[in-house]
Amino acid sequence: MTIWDSLVLGVVEGLTEFLPVSSTGHLTIVSKMLGLEIDDPAVTGYTAVIQVGAIAAVVLYFWRDIRRIAVAWVRGLLNREERDDFDYSMGWYVIVGSLPIGIVGFLAKDLISGPLRSLWWVAAGLIGWSFVMVLAERLGKRTRPLTRIRMLDAVVMGVVQCLALIPGVSRSGATISAGLFLDLDRVAATRIAFLLGIPALVGAGLYELKDALNGGTGAAALVIGTVVSFAVAYASVAWLLRFVSKHSIEVFAFYRVLLGTALLVVLTSGVAAAT
């Protein structure tokens, strides 16, 4: 992997990790365009590692919230009287909601890094989940703010987050849609989606680090991709939270359908191979 490859993939990761358009799908498409072997463990490991840069961006952006939740959670563990604090409950929501994707991701690692690394899956995920996003927007009542979230909401969103292991679905797209179906407002669903993504993506990045380095990716490429993804992701997070406060996420669904359809045309015409 060249320095240019790492720069391009870092930008793509930062732009798409938190937008509901599927970072994995975009990274798979762009990796293919760059001439990389998209089912190579080193490449899949690299894309997982540079996600840590994007996660660092969201941690920095939400640092005050994360610190407050962590402090309240520890206080609640030590003192029963502190357990009425909403932030104590939120700590448990994030922990419990993050467990499903960690378990499924570990058990299905070979499937995720092998057969699912196909552009056919990317196209299917992009188009298929777009209809779910539209339904979530149109059926969700969006009447519940963040302070009204429950453990059941966190569990449901955490389970749905597992679908993002299919390239093209989108982790944020899956969790935000689930939140909307549960009648959370867009900002609440988006903030929970971001918080649930932190443990999942950090764990995936650390787990894949060995494959990325052993596969010849190179430490320099990893550092550059991670730093670039951090900078671009920070701007993306800030923009998305402003966007969803006033706009529907359906616009992303329309983009996904267009991209998925274009990808199907490329694949069926034989212009590019699926792997």
- Domains of the chain, residue spans: 3-268
Q: What average pLDDT score do residues 73-95 get?
A: 95
Q: Residue 214 — very low, low, confident or very high, per pLDDT cuts 50/70/90?
A: low
Q: Which two tokens stand for residue 275?
A: 């792997």
Choice between 53 and 46, residue whose per-residue pLDDT is larger: 53
Choice between 141 and 205, residue whose per-residue pLDDT is larger: 141
Q: What average pLDDT score do residues 35-64 get?
A: 84
267: left (phi over 0), alpha (psi -120 to 50) or beta: alpha
Report the pLDDT value the prediction gives residue 47, as an integer from 0 to 100. 80
Q: What average pLDDT score do residues 228-232 get?
A: 95
**HSE-CB for 236 with a 13 A CA cutoff:** 28
Q: Under 8 Å CB-to-CB from 52, ≥6 apart: which residues?
A: 201, 202, 205, 206, 226
Q: Residue 73 — very low, low, confident or very high, per pLDDT cuts 50/70/90?
A: very high
Report the pLDDT value the prediction gives residue 215, as an integer from 0 to 100. 57
pLDDT at 196 over 60: yes
Report the pLDDT value the prediction gives residue 200, as an integer from 0 to 100. 79
Burial 81-99 (b: 16+ CB within 10 A, else e): ebeebebbbbbbbbeebbe
Which of 171, 122, 69, 97 is CA-nearest to residue 272? 122
Mean pLDDT, the chain, rounded, equals 90
Choice between 222 and 30, residue whose per-residue pLDDT is larger: 30
Please give the Cα distance from 73 to 69 (Å, whole number). Answer: 6
Choice between 201 and 198, residue whose per-residue pLDDT is larger: 198
